[in-house]
Amino acid sequence: MLRHRSADSGVSSCISRVLAALAIGGALSIGLAGCGDEAPVSGERHQAQSDEGAPHKVKWLEISSQITPAQWLVSRGEDKPRPVSDPEVQRIAELLTTAHRRYRESERMIANRSVQVEDMLKQIGLAEDAQDVLEGLTRIGGEVGQAEGFGSISQYYFNLRAASVSRADALATLKARYGSKS
């Protein structure tokens, strides 16, 4: 009988570990689901587009947007979107392409994260344009396809800046940690 109880407790322990692992995995899946490139629910898309009236005036760039991430970043504060042929749009497009290769995130998500960092910095009294955030974090070097994504690097950058580290010192810290090792 003692042997039977010990087998039952071993099975119970195993089941408990499996259920705990499934719960943790489920929680991680739910948390990461908001970070993908999937289109929002139709009501969310309509709300985002109608907030400002023009595709370059939306708070976040949607996957179904009619303008490129570079156009959106460059045109956000302007009366109308700049054309794809605009030199500044082309410069930002090159940065987004480089960041996409390096960080393995979509250009749209990188543009959105750059704006998010701009907004977060503004909330703590620091003025830094999303284009400057993008350029600084793209220029730190790093290996193509590195494990850390743009979101992680930008959060680290924000934390450094929030701790009163200068822009130059924050970028130097990131370059030392994540820059190219060759």
pLDDT at 147 over 90: no
> What pLDDT, on the 0 to 100 scale, is given for residue 63?
87
> What pLDDT, on the 0 to 100 scale, is given for residue 132?
96
pLDDT confidence bin for 145, thresholds 50/70/90? low
Tens digit of each residue's pLDDT (9 = 90 or more) over 75-89: 998 889 899 999 999
- pLDDT higher at 32 or 60: 60
Q: What DSSP state is assigned to residue 85?
A: T
User: What's the burial of 16, exposed, middle or buried (CB within 10 Å: 0-12/13-18/19+)?
Assistant: exposed
pTM listed for this prediction:
0.68
